[in-house]
Each structure stands twice: as C-alpha cells, then as structure tokens.
Amino acid sequence: MSKITFMGAGSTVFAKNVLGDCMLVPALEGFEFALYDIDKERLRDSENMLLNLAKSLMKKVTIKAYTSRKEALRGAKYVFNAIQVGGYQPSTVIDFEIPKKYGLRQTIADTTGIGGIFRNLRTIPVMLDFAKDMEEVCPDALFLNYTNPMAVLTGVMNRFTAIKTVGLCHSVQICTEHLFKALDMDHTGIKEKIAGINHMAWLLEVSKDGQDLYPEIKRRAKEKQKNKHDDMVRFELMDKFGFYVTESSEHNAEYHPYFIKRNYPELIEKYNIPLDEYPRRCENQIKGWEEMRDNLVNNKSLTHQRSHEYGSRIIEAMETNIPFKFGGNVLNTGRLISNLPELACVEVPCVADRSGITPTYVGELPAQLAGLNYTNINTQLVTIEAAMTKKKEYIYQAALLDPHTAAELSIDDIISLCDDLIEAHGEWIPTFD
Amino acid sequence: MSKITFMGAGSTVFAKNVLGDCMLVPALEGFEFALYDIDKERLRDSENMLLNLAKSLMKKVTIKAYTSRKEALRGAKYVFNAIQVGGYQPSTVIDFEIPKKYGLRQTIADTTGIGGIFRNLRTIPVMLDFAKDMEEVCPDALFLNYTNPMAVLTGVMNRFTAIKTVGLCHSVQICTEHLFKALDMDHTGIKEKIAGINHMAWLLEVSKDGQDLYPEIKRRAKEKQKNKHDDMVRFELMDKFGFYVTESSEHNAEYHPYFIKRNYPELIEKYNIPLDEYPRRCENQIKGWEEMRDNLVNNKSLTHQRSHEYGSRIIEAMETNIPFKFGGNVLNTGRLISNLPELACVEVPCVADRSGITPTYVGELPAQLAGLNYTNINTQLVTIEAAMTKKKEYIYQAALLDPHTAAELSIDDIISLCDDLIEAHGEWIPTFD
Amino acid sequence: MSKITFMGAGSTVFAKNVLGDCMLVPALEGFEFALYDIDKERLRDSENMLLNLAKSLMKKVTIKAYTSRKEALRGAKYVFNAIQVGGYQPSTVIDFEIPKKYGLRQTIADTTGIGGIFRNLRTIPVMLDFAKDMEEVCPDALFLNYTNPMAVLTGVMNRFTAIKTVGLCHSVQICTEHLFKALDMDHTGIKEKIAGINHMAWLLEVSKDGQDLYPEIKRRAKEKQKNKHDDMVRFELMDKFGFYVTESSEHNAEYHPYFIKRNYPELIEKYNIPLDEYPRRCENQIKGWEEMRDNLVNNKSLTHQRSHEYGSRIIEAMETNIPFKFGGNVLNTGRLISNLPELACVEVPCVADRSGITPTYVGELPAQLAGLNYTNINTQLVTIEAAMTKKKEYIYQAALLDPHTAAELSIDDIISLCDDLIEAHGEWIPTFD
Amino acid sequence: MSKITFMGAGSTVFAKNVLGDCMLVPALEGFEFALYDIDKERLRDSENMLLNLAKSLMKKVTIKAYTSRKEALRGAKYVFNAIQVGGYQPSTVIDFEIPKKYGLRQTIADTTGIGGIFRNLRTIPVMLDFAKDMEEVCPDALFLNYTNPMAVLTGVMNRFTAIKTVGLCHSVQICTEHLFKALDMDHTGIKEKIAGINHMAWLLEVSKDGQDLYPEIKRRAKEKQKNKHDDMVRFELMDKFGFYVTESSEHNAEYHPYFIKRNYPELIEKYNIPLDEYPRRCENQIKGWEEMRDNLVNNKSLTHQRSHEYGSRIIEAMETNIPFKFGGNVLNTGRLISNLPELACVEVPCVADRSGITPTYVGELPAQLAGLNYTNINTQLVTIEAAMTKKKEYIYQAALLDPHTAAELSIDDIISLCDDLIEAHGEWIPTFD
C-alpha cells in the first residue's frame, strides 16, 4: 500500500485542503494517509476530520495517526511538510516583540528579515532530523515542503540531505489571477512567465494573443494607487521596478528598506502597511479554531472541493504521468536563473510527472530584479552558514545583510538585538559559539 | 483566423499525420492550415487529401495551398517544417554513390557522417531563407522542425535567426515502448529519463515502482542478441556502453567507427547492417506512392486517427495551456546537459504550454555517453562553421571529425571525397572558398 | 615609433607618476608619450613638466601635447585614462550638495551611491566617445583606466566597445602593506589573496610560511579599535564580516547602510567618519596646485623615483614579456569569481606579459562577502542600463538599489533627489526619457 | 629547513636537470633535496651525482636519499614526481607487443590510446598512495607532476586527493621556438597563446608587433612538407585544422585516426611515422645509461647549466614572489576553456608566485580544435572511471572511445585486446570486476 505522510498534521484546516484534495484523486485510491504531529490532541482532531471526510466522500483510503515519527515516515512515497516550530507562543511573539524594543517593526517575519532568520534557526534542526529519519526509512520519498521560510528550508534540504525536496507556496499560483481581479481585467487566456525567489518572484511576462498586457496593467495600477487599498506596496514596487511581484504587500513591506522607516513614519499610512500582521492573524486563527473546531472535526457530513494547492496535483501527475506544471522552489543548480547564484533556492516553473520534479530553464532576470532578489538571498545564504556551522558571527552577518534591519538599526543595535533573540529563544534554537 | 503553415506539404503522408492530428484537436477548430511546397503537383495532392479529410471528419478548418512562400507564412502562429532539399534524385543518390567509390559505405546518411554534412550544406541556406521570410511576416511563430539533420538545422535556426525553433523526432517518443516490445516486457507504468543529442539520446533511467529495470533489460537483450534480428547494433551499444540509445540500429551503424569497417567485412553480417538502407526506402516510397496516391488523394471517405507525432500535441498544449512534455531538440543554452557544450543542440525533456516551449534541466551524462555524443557534436558544430562562413576548410574538418569517415579513409581520400561531393552537388549547395 | 597616450594629461602630478615611471623603463626608450586634455593650460603645464623631466633624467622619449583627441590616440599602443568629467565645479559640488538637502550625507561619492551614479552618467558618454575614436585610430591599443567609478566605466568599455580595457586602482596594491603598518606587524614574506570588486575587494587569505595571520591581525585590530583612529570603518567591517577590505574607511563608510545614519548621528563620531571628505580634498588640491605648480612645471632639475603605480609595470611586462601580476579590474567573464554575476566588473589577480592582460581564476567568495559585493554590483549594473538605454527609470532604480541611499531616504525622496540631480547636472549628462 | 622531495629520483639525468636547476636558484639555498626511488641502486647513483654536483657548484644544500617513502615526503614543501610504474620491462613491452598482435600499431603509447590507458591503470594506484602519504606528512606541499600520462594523472590527483597538483610537460614550453626553428623564422619578440590539453594544446595565436604570423608559417610549412622530414604529422594537422599542436609528430600520429591505418599502409612512409618509437628510445636510453653512468655518477667536477624545465622556475617564483608564467596542467574548474568539460585536465597559462599556482582564463577554442581534444578527453575521463570504480567495462569503453583503436579494430577485438592486456599486466594493475 502506497503511503503519503503529512508532517504537522495538526494543522487541521491545511491538512483538509491537501489531503482532502488527495482523496479526490482517483489515482490515489487505496493509499495510506499517515498523520504525524507533536501535538497529540490536534493530531487526533485531524485524524477524526479525515476519517469523517473519507467516509462522507466514500473514498477508499486509509487514515492513520502515528505517535512515532519514524513509523509515520516509514515507506512513504510522498511526505508533506507543514510544521511550525515554536508556535505563536513563544516563538512568533519573541520574533516580533524583541525587535520592536529596538524600534524595528515587522509585518509577517516568516521569510527573511530578523524574524525570518530566527524562524530558520529553530526550524532547520528539526528539518535535518526529519531528513535523517527519511534517509533511513523512506529514502526515495518526495518531500513537499510547505513550511516557511521556504527558500532557506528547501535549500537546506536539497544541499545537506539526500531527500529530494520541492518547496510549494501559494503566492506564485494565484499571482496573476489576483492581479487581474484587483485591476478588473479578464484573466482568461493569459500567458505568463514567473521566476525569482520565493515570495519575491517576478511576473516577467504577461500577454494575451501575443500582446503585452503590462502597459494596460500599469496604467490601471497607477489609477488604483490614487486611493488607499490593501496591496499598495506591491503596486509601488511594480511602478518603480517595472514588474509585479508574487507575494503580497504585507510581506514585501519588510523585504525592502523602502516602506517601514523610522525617519518616515508617514509611510505606514501612505502605503497602508499592517504592522504586526502575522501575530494578529495567529490570534485570530487561534480564536477561529475554537469556533470552527467542532464543525470541522466531528462533522459526519464533511465535504471537500479540490483546492488550488499544488500538492495533490503534483502527486497526481507523478502517479498518472500526465504532466503538471507549477512554480516550485528548487536549488538554482545549473543556474536555471543565470544571474542568481547556484546555491540560491529559486522559484521557477517545474514539471511533475512520473519522472519526478523537473525544473525548467529560465535564463537571465532584468538586472534590477536580480538586484532585489540578491538583497534577500544574501541573508538566506548566510543564515544557512549560521545554522550549519553553529557560529554566532553568521547570525550577526545574516541580520546585517537584511536590507530592512540594516536600514533601521546600527551595527551595535543589530548585534545586541541578535543576542537578545538568541537568549529569548533559549532551547528552541541550538547553541551557537 | 489563426494559422498553421506546413512547409514541404507535398509529403502527403506526413502532412496527413501531422495536420490530420491537428484536425482532431478541438482547440484548433477554425484554424487555417496553410500548405506550401515547391512541387506544385504534390502540393495540390496534399491539398486535395486534406480537403477530403476535413470534409469526411466534418472539421471546420480552412485548407489552403500557396504558391508564394511568404504568403504561406504570413501571420502564421505555428510553422511545421518537413522539407527535403535536393530530393532522392539527385542529392541522396550523390550522398551515397560518391562515398561508395572511396569504399565508404553508409546506411541512412541523414544525420552526421559524410552524407549528413552535405545534407546540411544544402538545407541550411533554405532554412535561413525561411527564417528571413518569417522574421518579416510571422516573427513570433513557433517553428516545429521535422527536417533532418535535426541537430544542425535546429541549432542553426536558434543560433542565427530570430525564429523560435524546436526540433521534433520520432525516435525519442517510441524509444522505451519499442525496447520493451522487442524484449517482450510490459511497458505500462514505466518511469524513464531520456537525454542526449538527436538520434543519439540515451535512456538514462528506466524503472517501475522504484525498481531499476536495466538489469532485466540487459539480461533479455543479451539473450536476444544470440540470434540475428533487426536491431543488433543498438543492443551491442547498450551491452558495451551500458545504456539504450534512441535511434535504430540502421542509423547508429554509421554514427560510430565500430560497425561498417572495411577491415572487418564480416561485421555487416554479424550485426545485420542494411547498407544503403535509405536509398532503398526512398525507392520503395516512390513506388509505394504511385500505388497509394489515388486512394489517399482522392478518397472522399478518408479517415484519420491521432498519431503519436508530437506536433499536434505541442500546439494543443500551447492553445489549451494543459502542459505536454516531450523530448525536444533545443540549444544547450545554460548547459541543460552540463557536460555537453553550450552551442550543441541537445534532445532533452521539454514542456509545451501557453508560455511556449520550455526545456528542462538534465545535468551530467555518464562520461562514456557524453563521449559518444561529442564525437558527433564535433562534426555538427564544424559543419555549421562551414555553412555560415562558406569556407571549404570547415567542410573538410567536419568530415575529418566524423568517426566513421575518419576510421575508414585517409586524410587525402577524405579531402578528395569532399571535393567530389562539392562538385557533384553543384548548385544545390552554395559556393565555398 | 611606439606611442603611449595619456588622456586627462592635465593631471600633472598623476601624469608625472605614471609617465615618469614609464621614462624609467628601459624597454620604453624611444616611445612617444602623447598628452591630451581639454584644459589647454593644464595640458601645457604637463607637457613642460615632462619635457623637463625627460631632460633631467636624460631619457630618449618624445613628449608631445595634442589638441586633437583623435590625433593624440592615433597609432597608440597603450592609452592611460585619468580624466574627470565635470570637475570639482560644478559636478562634484552638485553631487554632494543636492543630496545633503535631503539629509543624505556622503564622504567621497566616486564609486556607487548617489554621487557615483551621476559621476558614471556624465563619464560614460565621454568614454564611449574615446572608444569610438580608438576603434578607428588604434583598435589594438590597451586602455589602462584609472578613472572612477572604476567598476562601471571598465565594465562599459569591455561590454560595449571593442577596446581591450583593464581598470587599475591603488587600493589593492597597498592593501596588505597598509594593514600591516597600521597594526605594527612585519609585512615581509607575506602571502596574500585578494579578490572582489573595485573598492570592495577582500583580503581572502593572508599568511606567512603557511601560517594564517588573520587571528593575530584581528586581535591587534580589536585593540587598536579601542582608540579613535582614521580607519575605523574598515576595521569594524573586518570585525563583523571576518575579512579586511581593500578600500579605506572614508570610502567604505558610504558603501554600506551601517555608518552614516540619521537615526544614529553619534556614529559619525564613533567611527570617525569624514563627511564631505572628497570636496575638502578637491579644494586642498586646487590650493595645493597653486603652491606647487611652479616648482613642478618649470623645474629644470625635476627628478622622479619609480612609484608603486601598476601602469608602467604592466607596460614593461608587455614589452619585455617578463610577467607582472597585479590586481586588475576586468569583466567576470567565465565567472572568475564563481558567485558573482558574469556581467559584473571584478577585481582579481591578473597577469600582464607580451600576450596582454590575462585574468586568473578565483572561485567562490564567502557568502557574506559576495553579499556585500552584490549590494554594490546591483547599483552598478542598473546604472549601466540607465546610461545605455537613456531611460530615467533605471537611474531611479540604481539609486533605490544603493544600500546607503535606500536606508536613509524614502522612495519619493529618492526619485525627487534624482530629478533634482538630473536638472542640476544639465548638459553634463545626456537627456533621459 | 625547507624540503624538496623528488619521487622517482633514480632517473639520474632528469634529477640532474630539475634538482641541478634548483641548486642554481639562490632562494633555495639551505633547502634539503630529498630523494626517493624503489630502485635502491639507481637512487644511490642519483644521490652520488647530486652530492658531487653540489660540491662542485659549491652550493649549500642538503642531499639525502630515503628508503622510507613517508620519511622522504615528511615536511616537504615541494614534491617532484617523475616515476615510471612497471618500467620498460615488463610494462612498456606489453603495451606495444600485445596490441601489435591485433594489428594495432603505436608510436609512444604514453598519453591516450590503448597503451596510455594501461599506463594510467598501473600508475594511478601508486599516485593515490603517494597522495595518502602526503595528506599525512606534508598536506600543504605542491606536487609537481612530470609523470605521464599527464592529463589523467594530474586530473586524478586534483579530483580525488587533497594534494595541490600541477602537471608539467616540456612540449608547451618549446612549442613555438621549435616551430620557428623548423621554418627558419626568427623567434624573438613573439607573442603567443597556447591552450588545450596536454600533448594536444594549440598555438591559438602567434604574432609579432600586432601582425599575425600564421599566414607566413603556413606558407613555409607547406613548402617544407614537400620533402620528407621528422615532423610531418604535426604539419599535416596544422594544414588541415588550421593550428599548430604542442606535441610532436611521433606522439600525435597515434592520437588521431588519420595516420596509422592498416587500410593505408603507405601513410607510414608518407608521414614518416616512427612506429614503436618509444621502446626504441627506452632501449637506447638503457644502453646509453651504461655508457654515461660513470661519468655522471662519480664525476667530481660535474657541472650544470640551468635547463628550460619549468620546475625550478616555479619554485623560485613561489619563494621570491616574482611571478613566473608557464603552461601548466590543471583541472578545467570554472571552465577556463569554456568549451571543454569541467572535469577535463587542461593545459593553460598559469602563474606561479607566493600565492601558489593560479590558472588563467582562456575562453572558447575553435570548434574543430575542441573537437580533436574531446576525442582524447573521452578516453581520459572514462579511464579515470575505470581506475576509481575498478570496473572492467570502463576499460573497454575507454579503449572503444580511443579514435585510433576504434578506427583500426572491431569491438570484439578491442575487448579481447583489453582482456589480454589485463592478463599480461598481472599484478602491475589492480583487480577489475
């Protein structure tokens, strides 16, 4: 019996999306869906939910929750990863509150930036542990990573473990559709080309019937920008750098030195930037979960419609050999993007079919876009040095290389901030020399 | 009205396959199928055949034959190319008969080797003319090249013209299925990886449910090889170099210095090598055509079933945005195959969808396979130098670098043979200094 | 008669260094030293000085000042370039004063940063004019560029003209010696490896008899840093990023977002940063020139000792075929530094001999150093886009990508600052759309 | 006391050249010259010779012969390697005589070809043993390899051991001078560019005062070729492929399929090819040694003049930091020659100075030259596979890929020939599966 394992299965809503999708794939009939989470209660919730769903959908799949990680992974053909290390409490709160004391404000803190660095530092060791188990009990499994920070974690898996890993993010799949909706344009029949790094990939081409749509897009965007809306940072980036970026304004606000600036406090208002957005979302999610839990977990007539998540489609392609093309995160081996470094993890069009995940060749990005990508890749690559060598100096350097952190704080404050964060995270991160 | 143009449409059987396939694609309803050929009679035959077919299949497409090449191409979205320059008479006969006087025997002479070189020299100028027209009247069209020698012609189009070109060959698509049939093995559910150069791409991986099938394949192949059969060269190559090659024995017999050897005349028998196979086929085809012509051209109830040709599937993928993966010939830009040169034209997995043709990254070939590929790429790249500079010395060098020619003849004989061929081909090739 | 041409020969002191050096090279006996400058008076001064010098040193060289640029270049074998476009007045003053209005302070403004961008924009067209002349009258000459901004100008010459160009800077040649003097260490017998980009190349290795000297260097540097001195920024960079940088503190202060920060005004004092250093130097130089002029220009007993400038040594190596190794600026073609982009202009060990200038292979920089280099390369490559396309948007993007500018100013202020600078520079720069 | 170790010091004449040269280098005063050889008698001879030489030259160096390999290497700063494994008897005789039985004739058999393959197979394990010792007792030493087959052995050292290795060959250093002498042309002031692979590097450029000398060279070469002389193969290669090759005709005769052909026995005469040249030289050398031994070994007034060997000059450059440029063999890491594979060992301009051996960037070879290089690189890379995996199939493939072997013999004969050679070499080579 083939097996799909879900790490971090306690995320009941997301597990429903991904594994619910899988239930709807005829080629996966008869598969085992193995669930694992360190939170036993949430794990049981997800198990219940999926048992109900399978029954209600009348699908012949086996749902099984495991308390042993290695047993959950043993023999798996596909492994979904959606873990969060350290949780909202204490880790996310620390990542936001301590920088705030230094006057450094953030919105999401899950990618790069000071929050992203520490999120990586606590997640990498766990991922390496997963990989060690997998090398033993399912060395050929495909690891479909949904956990952030995407670029660093996917890069680490592919550089330092034997586990084939692809990183999946929602931002690229909905990029163009979202843009067209926002501008009240018709999205059908669009031809697009997207590449870059996770959360900062670029809509390099967008056309219909051979006609470049960017002039019209930019015209409408400029118009829209005259009034306040919830995606102003992204539109500003397009206006200034010429291309639309895959991730939302609340994310991009902290990837660049342009938006959250103590010297220009008015920019928060001007660009409508939701500071502390992620903690707010976490709290809403926690509250929301209490409300929706019963309906989701114990609902005998639970239903599901195939979502837009790439996960089930990739597996379906690999099982049926009908190719599926998607924007995936892979190492830039062979310089798929020729002007980004080979060790960077890039987000490029990939194809899934029976032969696995095959990335496609992109070529050269416009200089200014590669430039913006570099400013984030710098921190990513040095963060990986920190995690793999356990040397504190690389943590400092990663923070010093982050454009937003470096713009806002002095070297001394950055070092001190890192030291405070190292201390606050305590045992959630390894010991650094 | 969108338009597909077919250059060399006088190949009625092939035009039926490719354009007949296109008729069966719902997304191509309403397209114009534009036909062009310098042979007006054959052109009219194909036009009749396709008109009958469209009627019989009740398809709403426009069939139109053109006498002006530029008008045939004007506004095309896709251009199929299946021309043959010089024909069986005089060109192919020359390519076989003159080398024969020097004791140099060939089988197909359409790829590399002395015949391939001259086939290139007479075809490249025509292709460059096509490209010049296309740059003027349909600069964004995709050029789907079926004409041999595939690697050189596709390379020239992509290096020296602005026309996006992909080269398509039957050998890669039927490679594994053919192998499995020959060995009486079940082909369903096979995972494969094929890459290399046209007519010499390699079945790098072949497995089922994670199990490598090569050991069993090689065991059966060794057994089969004990008795005479019609694919002995290819099986010998697999036995000695460890991997199965995409093109057939009659082709590969002349790509290597191992099979047609004056010092070992017994090898022709031992490997069952059909010398002069291509002229024989041409003559059969000419004879066959006379017999089948009426039934094909004037048959009001002509039918068609979708063939295995990639052509219509690529166009369908580009129109519907449902990806199609295939083995295509493209420049090795960005070193898709990392140990072949960037200017080589390689055959690698490609994806077609609305964003066009995207090649995928392959990585490194085993050293011995790259080695065999190089011996043919050498001649290809120098042949291109010859065609683009019009310098005779490069023709000589291309021939000197061909492994079969160099094994059989002395330098003086090779030079003399080239001179004889240059003279014999006369105005079918340009003037060389 | 072989000819060395000096563009910008009105820099009498520098002309004395470089051409005085050349007089001391026996292999250059009999050469013509051709002088060119748009400032006729300064040109005559340099001519007088060199005539005196040649006489006093009893050297058989021909000194000749030209009023026609093309005649000065005609037949040259080597061309030195030491021009400054726009001069202290008006250009340098503008580059400092207008940013100052926005609160953006600079120290030197000759590399990247807002001042470097505009220095490039006014110098590139002049360089392209030189190249056009040279392609006509001395196409094989070697162009030895001393003019800043080094990386961009040398990159432009090598990418967009046929003139072989190498960029020469003092910073790399004195790097280690300067460091050792500052730390009271013995410099003899040192083995070093330096690579990166101009003004931000890195002392990657420094050892003696196989022993790494960095631990001792860092220990002493930490000690020295306890008291105020004139190279504190550079020592701070070494302390935080682990490697010593080739250019001085007053330059590096403005290449990074760490040192000149409105939010941390105390850093100016802490790091002892000489704001507006370059204008101050210019004024001193102008004053100094008046004092020294007579003694330099009309001194019949003028003497000269071979300086440390690379120029005469490179030419000597090319004439004698005795190799000379130096840190030169060349395109990163073939990825000499494997983790910097191919279009970047890098500073790497090069060899001069009769076969010309040959760069050597360096390999990969530590991630944090490549990271710091990228932040400056970003602006350089986009500045080149601006100069070659004449599109204003690239000027904005170049400025937005500069780490110091982006840290200090908002997007709107950066755009407005660029607009003010474009207007203020008037006809010294081309028209941008 | 710094130490230079000479492996294979029993080659008294060569040891005199290389170490005699070193005695003449002032910077090497006080060095120990450590001698090692498995032939104790020859070792003692060399020791005596060098002791006499040092005394006669009044040089303060320590000469010491070692019977322990590890002690000879311990603490060495430089290691010369000039070993020969298997010797003339039995190995070289086997390499010539067994192929001869199959009708496969050779001239030198020390590079590629069937003889080169087996010379590699018996030498590689010894070299790996050296490297293992060196990693323990002198890990930072520079290994200067003079042993053939140069490309494979140098490649193996650099790919599979931690020992920095450069390969040195006489052919590149005398290439141009030799050519000019042969054509009665003046060699002074020549500018040249040479790159390729060992024994098949190309004189890519040769000019004087900016004038290309190739037209005159080719004119004279054509004239010379009208009469029989001892370098006819090389001149024929230049005539046909456009460039002069570094190694002599007797070597190149067996690297290509053009010269030694059973079907064209007259070519031996026509190109004046000395079949079995190397065994003849060996026998002369053995005889010659008996005659010269006493005069060399026990000559109290032995003298020495600095030879053209690169060895002492490289060490001198590394000790004095005055750069020395030479044609060295190094891995093609970073694609110094952009159209040869990264794993190939290439011969390119290198610089020695205190920072070690630094290769320079070459760029792209003309397609036909890269083509000829590939045909030999193919065998080299697959030979390495054979040596490192101990799989017999790679020996067969290496032989099958050799152009001369493949041109002359059938697959069956090649396999059988390999089997015979494996058996004949017995314990001189490892066991292969």
Per domain, the residue ranges of chain B are: 84-275+309-433
Residues C344, C345, C350, C355: is their CA dihedral positive or negative?
Answer: positive
Query: Tens-digit pLDDT profile for chain A (433 aa)?
Result: 899 999 999 999 999 999 999 999 999 999 999 999 999 999 999 999 999 999 999 999 999 999 999 999 999 999 999 999 999 999 999 999 999 999 999 999 999 999 999 999 999 999 999 999 999 999 999 999 999 999 999 999 999 999 999 999 989 989 999 999 999 999 999 999 999 999 999 999 999 988 999 999 999 999 999 999 999 999 999 999 999 999 999 999 999 999 999 999 999 999 999 999 999 999 999 999 989 999 999 999 999 999 989 999 999 999 999 999 999 999 999 999 999 999 999 999 999 999 999 999 999 999 999 999 999 999 999 999 999 999 999 999 999 999 999 999 999 999 999 999 999 999 999 999 9
* Partner B, chain D 74-113, Cβ-Cβ below 8 Å: none
pLDDT in tens, D276-325: 999 999 999 999 998 999 999 999 999 999 998 999 999 999 999 999 99
Residue of B nearest to D102 (CA): B263
Residue of D nearest to B259 (CA): D410
Task: State the Cα–Cα distance between residues C86 and C88, nearest whole angstrom.
Answer: 7
Task: State the Cα–Cα distance between residues D39 and D2, nearest whole angstrom.
Answer: 25
Is the Cβ pair B355, A349 closer than 8 Å? yes
pLDDT in tens, B351-399: 999 999 999 999 999 999 999 999 999 999 999 999 999 999 999 999 9
Cβ-Cβ contacts under 8 Å for D146 (sequence gap 6 or more)? D14, D18, D80, D81, D82, D167, D168, D169, D311
Most B CBs within 10 Å, among A325, A351, A365, to test the B interface: A325
Residue C36 near residue C70, CB atoms below 8 Å: no
- Give yes or no for A401 touching C (CB within 8 A): yes
Which residues of A carry out catalysis?
A: 170
Residue of D nearest to B268 (CA): D410
Question: 3.90.1820.10, 3.90.1150.10, 3.50.50.100, 1.10.3720.10: which CATH number matches A84-275+309-433?
Answer: 3.90.1820.10
Burial zone of C211 (CB within 10 Å; 0-12 exposed, 13-18 middle, 19+ buried): exposed
Query: Tens-digit pLDDT profile for chain C (433 aa)?
Result: 899 999 999 999 999 999 999 999 999 999 999 999 999 999 999 999 999 999 999 999 999 999 999 999 999 999 999 999 999 999 999 999 999 999 999 999 999 999 999 999 999 999 999 999 999 999 999 999 999 999 999 999 999 999 999 999 989 989 999 999 999 999 999 999 999 999 999 999 999 988 999 999 999 999 999 999 999 999 999 999 999 999 999 999 999 999 999 999 999 999 999 999 999 999 999 999 989 999 999 999 999 999 989 999 999 999 999 999 999 999 999 999 999 999 999 999 999 999 999 999 999 999 999 999 999 999 999 999 999 999 999 999 999 999 999 999 999 999 999 999 999 999 999 999 9
Mean per-residue pLDDT over chain D, rounded: 97
Would you say residue D1 has pLDDT above 90?
no
Chains A and B touch (3+ CB pairs under 8 A): yes
* Residue C17 confidence (pLDDT): 97
CA dihedral angle for residue B168, residue B150, residue C334, residue A340, rounded to 10 degrees? -10
pLDDT in tens, B303-330: 999 998 999 999 999 999 999 999 999 9
pLDDT in tens, D324-349: 999 999 999 999 999 999 999 999 99
Residue B83 near residue B123, CB atoms below 8 Å: yes
Is the Cβ pair D407, B257 closer than 8 Å? yes
Number of Cβ pairs < 8 A linking chain B and chain D = 128
* Alpha helices, DSSP H, located in B225-346: 232-241, 249-252, 266-270, 277-297, 310-320
Cβ-Cβ contacts under 8 Å for B331 (sequence gap 6 or more)? B154, B155, B158, B159, B342, B343, B344, B345, B346
Query: How far B111 CA lies from chain D's nearest CA (Å)?
Result: 17
pLDDT in tens, B197-236: 999 999 999 999 889 999 999 999 999 999 999 999 999 9
pLDDT in tens, B137-161: 999 999 999 999 999 999 999 999 9
pLDDT in tens, D6-32: 999 999 999 999 999 999 999 999 999
Q: Report which of C2, C281, C261 is spatially closest to residue C140, judged by C-alpha positions.
A: C2
Q: Which residue in this structure is represented by tokens 């070992």?
A: B264
| Of D193, D353, D358, Cβ closest to residue C355 | D193
Is the Cβ pair C368, A382 closer than 8 Å? yes
Is the Cβ pair D333, C192 closer than 8 Å? no
Is the Cβ pair D359, C360 closer than 8 Å? yes
Tokens representing residue B378 in the block: 């050498």
User: Other C-beta atoms within 10 Å of C202: how many?
Assistant: 27
**Parallel, antiparallel, or unpaired: how do β-strands B78-81 and B3-7 relate?**
parallel
**Longest pairwise C-alpha distance within chain C:** 61
Q: Report which of C185, C254, C251, C171 is spatially closest to residue C218, judged by C-alpha positions.
A: C185
Chains C and D touch (3+ CB pairs under 8 A): yes
Is the Cβ pair A363, B338 closer than 8 Å? no
Is the Cβ pair A406, C261 closer than 8 Å? no
| Of C240, C341, C411, Cβ closest to residue A396 | C240
Chain B partners within 8 Å of D410 (Cβ):
258, 261, 263-264, 267
pLDDT in tens, D351-390: 999 999 999 999 999 999 999 999 999 999 999 999 999 9
Task: State the Cα–Cα distance between residues D304 and A346, nearest whole angstrom.
Answer: 61
Chain A partners within 8 Å of C378 (Cβ):
367-368, 370-372, 374-375
Most D CBs within 10 Å, among B405, B411, B419, B433, to test the D interface: B411
Tokens representing residue B75 in the block: 């506004």
Would you say residue B178 has pLDDT above 90?
yes
Is the Cβ pair A334, B363 closer than 8 Å? yes
Neighbouring chains of D at 3+ CB pairs under 8 Å are B, C
Task: State the Cα–Cα distance between residues A261 and C407, nearest whole angstrom.
Answer: 8
3-class SS at D78?
A: strand
Tokens representing residue A419 in the block: 């030291």
Residue of B nearest to D242 (CA): B393
| Of B191, B323, B354, Cβ closest to residue A191 | B354
- Residue A323 phi/psi, 5° resolution? -65, 145
Would you say residue B133 has pLDDT above 90?
yes
Is the Cβ pair C370, A267 closer than 8 Å? no
Query: How far C193 CA lies from chain D's nearest CA (Å)?
Result: 7
Task: State the Cα–Cα distance between residues B353 and B338, nearest whole angstrom.
Answer: 25
| Of D189, D333, D360, Cβ closest to residue C360 | D360
Which of B170, B251, B308, B404 is flagged as catalytic? B170
Most C CBs within 10 Å, among A263, A340, A404, A409, to test the C interface: A263
* Residue C374 confidence (pLDDT): 98
Is the Cβ pair D361, C359 closer than 8 Å? yes
Q: How far is CA D198 from CA B110, D154, D337, in A?
A: 35, 10, 13
Residue of B nearest to A337 (CA): B334
Is the Cβ pair B358, A363 closer than 8 Å? no
Chains B and C touch (3+ CB pairs under 8 A): no
Is the Cβ pair C341, A343 closer than 8 Å? no
Is the Cβ pair A382, C375 closer than 8 Å? no
Is the Cβ pair D191, C358 closer than 8 Å? no
ipTM of the complex: 0.97
* Partner A, chain C 210-269, Cβ-Cβ below 8 Å: 236, 240-242, 256-258, 261-264, 267
Mean per-residue pLDDT over chain B, rounded: 97
pLDDT in tens, A30-86: 999 999 999 999 999 999 999 999 999 999 999 999 999 999 999 999 999 999 999
* Residue D78 confidence (pLDDT): 98
Number of Cβ pairs < 8 A linking chain A and chain C = 128
* Partner A, chain B 286-315, Cβ-Cβ below 8 Å: none
Most C CBs within 10 Å, among D355, D357, D362, D364, to test the C interface: D355
Query: How far D178 CA lies from chain B's nearest CA (Å)?
Result: 25
Is the Cβ pair D406, B339 closer than 8 Å? no
* Partner D, chain C 325-384, Cβ-Cβ below 8 Å: 325, 333-336, 338, 349, 351, 353-356, 358-361, 363
Chain D partners within 8 Å of B371 (Cβ):
374, 377-379, 381-382, 397, 401
Q: Which residue in this structure is represented by tokens 């303060």?
A: D60
Q: Which residue in this structure is represented by tokens 């719902």?
A: B26
